Chains A and B, each alone.
Chain A
């Protein structure tokens, strides 16, 4: 099996993108990625499309995107792993190249959530989990699911509202610098504390927004990557795991088990020290759909011990210059969370970080190890994808 590299990246502006259709939005990212990689559509022998849909009209998004972007007749499929659909699309294209079946593939993530009213979107995301036993009768919402984790974490470790506020403030700080971000303004602790509850203890400013956006990456085999670029970013390892559909079938609401398992797979495959992985990684994007999710991610990725994730936030250790910079592109919270695009967006942000191409110099992490980590969770720990990107060729 060959090594696989990212050789081109594309990213649309995230936000309320009612100025374009789903396929027009995808094209913004696909075009940029093709140009960066300097490849023709006809050479992209396979493409996967991460999209959850239902709030947008097209039921066959991979086909609609394929036609609009002139990617036909290469093979494709739409990939669904809830909020991790982007990473799942990346995985699908990665495996197509890794297996040796194709030498160039593309992963596209696209979501247009503003084709439906916000409350319809609240309903559709709330239904994700176990529809019959947990939604039909009890009306859980996406923030509601994560609020169950926030309540348990606060109760067990004495986390304060302000600790969650710190995560939100950091996200908006970097979002304000990122030209692709949905929210491009800073927030204060006072604004955070005053924002209205959506699912106690989570507030509006704990939550990622309903966003439209697209991202794309071109992947190539080692042989092809050598021809296309002097600066390939390798997919060094990927870990995947799943969790129960019913939250009631879980016992611990202070950690996402699937994310821990996926992270361990990656660390083992890449030979990363499990005790202090942050020492070998320069920057990370973690799945902060809600502020609590970022704190739990610090622990699931072993950037902090169990119960100490909130201290990383409190001590501002995840800004550029801290123990490990996390979500310095604004994260889902400020960059936005177009469900199916998020995982691919992480791949784009991290590839650019490793190549010293962050959109603003204050967002650029110091790259010493040449490694960046993406943590993308679908649903509430229903799916977990952890991907390690590296400037060093795997196996060297």
Chain B
């Protein structure tokens, strides 16, 4: 669950904040020496929480279909361009209201990497593989799952809907065949 992921992080932050409170009580100021250099640093007393609310109205269909096990792209009927990530506007033809089409599910891995130094918001996952697969008309970036010995450029992969744990939300990934 998203709230559980956050609680774990908050516990770590709590320890740091307690130390900072102690510091302010002793010195009357939130100033501490940087461990390596001893340079005095002011610990910000103001906090900013960032969690964006991103509009998805024009591509709602993508998320509806994920729930039915399908991964969709959009297609401009005028110029036949397929858009993935899906978008409802074709800037080439300047038309909107594109057609929804199902992506081919089989493809080939073009490239990949294994992320070991992770962003803090991904630190609760084990090391993950991010790859880009060629599905014919479009490429898809996603996590690559399956046995490591099969992981190579040119490997066959299948695009599938998965539930991302521990958050428990629907997304898609590439499974090594």
Q: Check A132–B54 contact: CB distance below 8 A.
A: yes
Interface status of A133 (Cβ within 8 A of chain B): yes
Q: Check A248–B140 contact: CB distance below 8 A.
A: yes
Q: Check B141–A122 contact: CB distance below 8 A.
A: no
Q: Which residues of B contact A126 (CB under 8 A)?
A: 119
Q: Which chain A residues (60-116) contact chain B, with CB distance < 8 Å? A: none
Q: Check A247–B141 contact: CB distance below 8 A.
A: yes
Q: Check A248–B84 contact: CB distance below 8 A.
A: yes
Q: Check B119–A139 contact: CB distance below 8 A.
A: yes
Q: A246-B85, A248-B132 are in contact. Are A122 and B119 (CB under 8 A)?
A: yes
Stretch at the interface among A32-40, A193-201, A339-347: A193-201
Closest CB-CB distance, B115 to chain A, in whole Å? 5
Q: Check B153–A200 contact: CB distance below 8 A.
A: no
Closest CB-CB distance, B131 to chain A, in whole Å? 8
Interface status of B3 (Cβ within 8 A of chain A): no
Our pick among A16, A120, A122, A140 for the contact of B130 (Cβ within 8 Å) is A140
A151-B111 Cα distance, complex, nearest whole Å:
6
Our pick among B44, B125, B152 for the contact of A139 (Cβ within 8 Å) is B125
Q: A137-B164, A139-B121 are in contact. Are A148 and B113 (CB under 8 A)?
A: yes
Interface status of B117 (Cβ within 8 A of chain A): yes
Q: Check A148–B111 contact: CB distance below 8 A.
A: yes
Interface status of B168 (Cβ within 8 A of chain A): no
Our pick among B37, B84, B119, B125 for the contact of A18 (Cβ within 8 Å) is B37
A196-B139 Cα distance, complex, nearest whole Å:
30
A234-B37 Cα distance, complex, nearest whole Å:
40
Q: Check A122–B139 contact: CB distance below 8 A.
A: no
Closest CB-CB distance, B64 to chain A, in whole Å? 17
Interface status of A317 (Cβ within 8 A of chain B): no
Q: Which residues of B contact A57 (CB under 8 A)?
A: 44
Closest CB-CB distance, A130 to chain B, in whole Å? 7
A127-B139 Cα distance, complex, nearest whole Å:
20
Of chain B, the residue at the smallest CB distance from A254 is B111
| A: number of interface residues (CB 8 Å) | 43
Of chain A, the residue at the smallest CB distance from B44 is A57
Our pick among B113, B120, B139, B141 for the contact of A120 (Cβ within 8 Å) is B120
| B: number of interface residues (CB 8 Å) | 38
A199-B117 Cα distance, complex, nearest whole Å:
7
A49-B46 Cα distance, complex, nearest whole Å:
26
Q: Check B171–A137 contact: CB distance below 8 A.
A: yes
Contact mask for chain A residues 117-140; partner B; CB cutoff 8 A; 1 contact, 0 none: 001101100110010111101111
A130-B141 Cα distance, complex, nearest whole Å:
11
Q: Check B113–A18 contact: CB distance below 8 A.
A: no
Q: Which residues of A contact B140 (CB under 8 A)?
A: 248
A60-B43 Cα distance, complex, nearest whole Å:
20
Interface status of B143 (Cβ within 8 A of chain A): yes
Closest CB-CB distance, B146 to chain A, in whole Å? 16
Our pick among B39, B44, B120, B132 for the contact of A123 (Cβ within 8 Å) is B120
Q: Which of A201, A248, A251, A253 has the largest number of chain B CB atoms within 10 A?
A: A248
Interface status of B150 (Cβ within 8 A of chain A): no
Interface status of A155 (Cβ within 8 A of chain B): yes
Q: Check A152–B122 contact: CB distance below 8 A.
A: no
Q: Check B44–A144 contact: CB distance below 8 A.
A: no
Q: Check A122–B117 contact: CB distance below 8 A.
A: yes
Q: Check A151–B130 contact: CB distance below 8 A.
A: no
Q: Which chain A residues (119-175) contact chain B, with CB distance < 8 Å? A: 119-120, 122-123, 126-127, 130, 132-135, 137-141, 143-144, 147-152, 155
Closest CB-CB distance, B126 to chain A, in whole Å? 12
Interface status of B101 (Cβ within 8 A of chain A): no
Q: Which residues of A contact B39 (CB under 8 A)?
A: 18-19
Q: A152-B110, A248-B138, A248-B140 are in contact. Are A198 and B128 (CB under 8 A)?
A: no
A249-B154 Cα distance, complex, nearest whole Å:
18
Q: Check A16–B117 contact: CB distance below 8 A.
A: no
Identify 6 residue pairs between A and B in the complex whose beta-carbon atoms are under 8 Å apart, listed by A's number. Answer: A119-B123, A139-B128, A139-B130, A148-B111, A151-B112, A197-B116
What is the interface of chain B, defined by CB distance below 8 A to chain A?
A: 34, 36-37, 39, 41, 44, 54, 84-85, 110-123, 125, 128, 130, 132, 138-143, 152-154, 164, 171
